[in-house]
Structure 1
Amino acid sequence: MMMERVEGALFDLILSGDGSTGPCSSGVSNSVVRHSSDNSSRKDLLSSLTDEIYDVQAIILAGGGSDGLMPLSSTTPKALLTIGHQSLICGSMTNLWRSGIRRFLVVTNKNENEAIETHVRTTFLEPILTVKNIYDTPRLDLNFYPLMDRNEDNMGTTDVLRCLSDKIEDDFLVVPCDLYGSFDFKGLIEQHRSSVRLCTVTLIEEESNRRLNKRGKEAVEEQIAPGGNKVRGWGYKYRVMATLDTKQSQLVGISDMVTVCSGASYELSKWMLMRHRNCTIRIDLFDAHIYMFSKHVFEAINLPHMYQTSIRLDLVPYIIRLQETPASSDWYSSVSRDGEGRMWTVADLRDTSQSERSRVFYYLGMSDSSKCSRINSLESVMNANMEACFDKTVPRSLPRLDGLNQKMRDVVLSIGFQFGDSVNIRMCVIGAKVSVGCGCKLSKCIIMDNVKIEDNVVLEQCIIGERSVISAKTKLKYVVVSPDQILPTNTYLERDFYPPFLSEE
């Protein structure tokens, strides 16, 4: 949900319990109002100043598109889509800030740079600058780099790093803009700095425990994603087959499971197995595109075959294959060579002069402080917003006002809402300037900004795009409505998109 910038304060109204709200023109009676720049949030920011500050640059990748987020991303940059009422990119940057990161390089595309930069500077940076003595923090630095056109497909993420090579001063982080949830960046940085290495790859476990119904069983509706596709989990694209030397926390081999399941072979070199004789192969981990690199990685990035490639699919597997080999020493020489396919001897095996700084380690994000996911599909947008309903709910009942008969539970509301009589809304995230007519029932829905819902509408597990109109007596279930649409009266749709288009399967 993309919220408009409103002059003054931004309020989120969080309702809980079986009670109801007051008249639509006067807001909510006895509800809890949370202010985005209130004293508590200022204290959080101020307390983060006393924590350890890491002199590390964080590259935030916010320039790519996402077919999995269509049609929402057709009018709103992926980085500015919201969970609850916080944009994805501000969520990622807040996570980094609280971990002691003060240096940000945000990579955007030329079409969306102005919108993203304006949003970040007003929504993320402006509240921080109100905190006393903010300029005492070491090297507060925020820069934006529009490197590509939105639909440009000849620049991979490896090429993005190459373009930024003259901006990188030391070891650096690479983080996606669509990271949702908490992540222990401190742990990653400290582990990376604990020994000489080329890269530390974050591997995380997907939370498998879905929300249960009252009988303790998985709810049937949670097996269907908005639009009608089967639920697959956020990590199906990022699942990897990884070979781990658990004693040394070294990553010996990696391949994405999509490739392996398509019939590709998974190979480990005899060279690596001679050095790492006790390894574990796991297929329950995900590479969420969170890395920390040594600056020496640019020697590998600048190799000719690394142009137009992906960090996750090409660069990381390549440096893992050649770590600790004589070929890796070529990365630090004046003449770089590929190194693959060469024959080495036992004498080479004994030579460890260059092996340490070419090693690749892994960091397991498994603790309570590393519960995160990627928002890369409509399914993940829905799941994350439903979690926001519970995370922000205050456990108190609101008194029902006579004559209105409004029932709300686990609802996250924004400013400018209007609700008619006899509405029933449960587990919904509702954007700014939304109106809901009389007799409507909304369950597990995301309603974006400036949406009008007329009388006697029933919505279940739906995503309604901004500025759309849902006409009276419409019934939608597992439906995604594109922005700027008008649904006719008495429309009935289930497991579909409006207007229809070929969804990803």
Structure 2
Amino acid sequence: MLDMPIAMELASFSPLTTHAVVLAGGAGSRITPLPSSSIPKALLPIANRPMIFYALFSIHRAHIPSASVFVSAEFRNQIETYVNEIYVKDPLVKALQWSLTCEFLVRDEEGGTADALRILDGADAHATTLVVLSSDYVGNISIERVLQHHIDTLATATVTLVRQKCTPVQVPKQKGKASKKPAQSSTYSVTNYAMLSDEHRLLALISPSDLTNNKVIVRPTLTRRYDSIKLCSDMYDPHVYVFHKMTVRYVLRLFPAISSVRFDLVPYLARRQHTLQRTAETLDWPYPGEQLVVNALVLDATSTYAKRANTVEHFLATNAEVASGCINTFLSPSDDPPERPKKGKKSERKLPFVTAGEKVSVSPDSAVAHNVTAGHRTSVKKSVVGPNCKLGSNVKINGCVLMQGVVLEDGVNLSSCVVCDDAVIGHNSTLKDCRVAAGIVVSPESEVSDKDFTGAQEDVYGLGDIEFV
């Protein structure tokens, strides 16, 4: 039996029947010590734009008219002010020439992501479809494409997966075997095991931590129902989901124990699609079509960039990749790809500093914000430098993120570090793989690797005797 009103409603899809949900209430426990009492995770910078910009822009670009942004009570005013006063004035947003209306809802800190969907405040009244993103999502996935796939297949839920690229790694040479070139293998980080049918039905999405004795258990109902099942370990889940609104509302009302979208709601729907059919007992389930369908839209990493900046490692990598221009075409309001910066001679390039000394260099894959000063012989490579930073002379920065107001004194050498707002690194210090919390002062001539600087400030001194060219 077919629920015709719902099926016909979905067939006439347009962005105007879609409502977006952005989950921005997380505390960022996996990315400490970067968030602080003054800066929530959602406003941490990615290539000098707040992290939440990229989720909002993806929704906005898809012509979706409205979004509910779930925030913590502590940071509601900050995030609301950014969206209503700063996001709307961004040149990329103004170029879209249509509006996105956002409401801000406080998410219970004890609740999960699915709990947030239970308290949608009526802004989604017009919608038949919900698209759900995390505020730490950064990428160039076309939300229109995901929505169209969802509608075309009469799906109850659509999960976007990105097939990861393999990274070459060196393989140790075996004794007694000579070779001209070192042996190489390919690897990727396993974040999920996705069980798919030939038609890309998502049969299960399993986290490595949920394996039973390092084994994936396949239910007999699946082997009886599907002739072929693929188990994929190279699928990355960037948390871009689409749901049939009425079904999700029904399920969440029926099962209050469902708390997480990723770990409860999606697995539950994936399981039930094998056992739930239209019968006299289940006619009140409002899913479209003759059966509940959970689909996977599988995208290739060669043409798709998608990452969650939810760890320090991913935060650094995402900053570097976005600063290098990996999603410039997606961000550009024009259909034409933006021009790449000309290589030319270093002397011909305009340096992005308010004032700069002699022999200062910035690599093309770096991003430097406004009102930054640099002393003599300072080098910035593969890094993001926030506004109002002061870089002394003989400073070397490689693969780093400096947030706003950071001071690096003369002779500082940083590699793969994150330095938060208003921190000071004392002269002739060398830091590698370190995280420096907001306002911290690192002692001069420190040589440290892999450390979180979060404690009481060391050697606090005035900045009046620091001279910048």
TM-score range relative to shorter protein? 0.7 to 0.9
State the Cα distance separating 1:294 from its structure 2 match.
0.8
Among candidates 106, 119, 125, match of residue 146 of structure 1: 106
Among candidates 18, 23, 28, match of residue 56 of structure 1: 18
Among candidates 150, 159, 164, match of residue 201 of structure 1: 159
Which runs of no fewer than 5 residues in structure 1 stay unpaired? 1-51, 219-231, 337-352
- 8 Å CA contact 1:421, 1:439 repeated in 2: yes
SS at match of 2:346: coil
Which residue number corresponds to residue 463 of structure 2?
none
SS at match of 1:399: helix
Which residue number corresponds to residue 426 of structure 2?
471
Among candidates 87, 94, 118, match of residue 162 of structure 1: 118
TM-score relative to the length of structure 1? 0.72
Among candidates 221, 230, 250, match of residue 299 of structure 1: 250
CA gap of 1:332–1:284, structure 2 versus 1, over 3 A, is same
Identity of aligned residues (%): 22
CA gap of 1:421–1:188, structure 2 versus 1, over 3 A, is same
CA gap of 1:74–1:95, structure 2 versus 1, over 3 A, is same
Which has the higher mean CA deviation after the structures are superposed, 165-174 or 418-427? 165-174
Which residue number corresponds to residue 347 of structure 1?
none
Encode CA deviations 1:417-438: one digit per residue, 9 max, x unaligned.
Answer: 1111122222221111111112
CA gap of 1:403–1:121, structure 2 versus 1, over 3 A, is closer
How far apart are the structure 2 equivalents of 1:144 and 1:372?
A: 25
Verify: 1:431 aligned to 2:410, yes or no.
no
How far apart are the structure 2 equivalents of 1:72 and 1:469?
A: 15
Which residue number corresponds to residue 104 of structure 1?
67
Aligned residues: 405
Tell me: higher relative CO, structure 1 or 2? Use CA pairs within 8 A at least 6 residues apart: 1
State the Cα distance separating 1:59 from its structure 2 match.
0.6
> For residue 162 of structure 1, what is the amino acid of its counterpart?
R
How far apart are the structure 1 equivalents of 2:119 and 2:36?
A: 27
- 8 Å CA contact 1:165, 1:298 repeated in 2: no
CA gap of 1:67–1:211, structure 2 versus 1, over 3 A, is farther
Among candidates 307, 314, 318, match of residue 373 of structure 1: 307
Q: How does 1:44-443 map to 2 (within 5 A)?
A: 53=15, 55-75=17-37, 76-127=39-90, 134=97, 140-148=100-108, 152-153=109-110, 155-164=111-120, 166-168=122-124, 169-209=127-167, 239-246=191-198, 248-260=199-211, 263=213, 266-295=216-245, 296-307=247-258, 309-326=259-276, 356-366=290-300, 369-391=303-325, 394-396=341-343, 397-399=345-347, 404-410=358-364, 411-443=366-398
SS at match of 1:186: helix
> For residue 155 of structure 2, what is the amino acid of its counterpart?
R
State the Cα distance separating 1:465 from its structure 2 match.
1.3
Which residue number corresponds to residue 445 of structure 1?
400
Bigger fraction of residues in helix:
1
How far apart are the structure 1 equivalents of 2:53 and 2:275?
A: 40
Encode CA deviations 1:256-306: one digit per residue, 9 max, x unaligned.
Answer: 12211x637644333333322222121211222211111212222122353
TM-score relative to the length of structure 2? 0.77
CA gap of 1:255–1:469, structure 2 versus 1, over 3 A, is same
- 8 Å CA contact 1:184, 1:365 repeated in 2: no
> For residue 179 of structure 1, what is the amino acid of its counterpart?
Y
CA gap of 1:481–1:245, structure 2 versus 1, over 3 A, is same
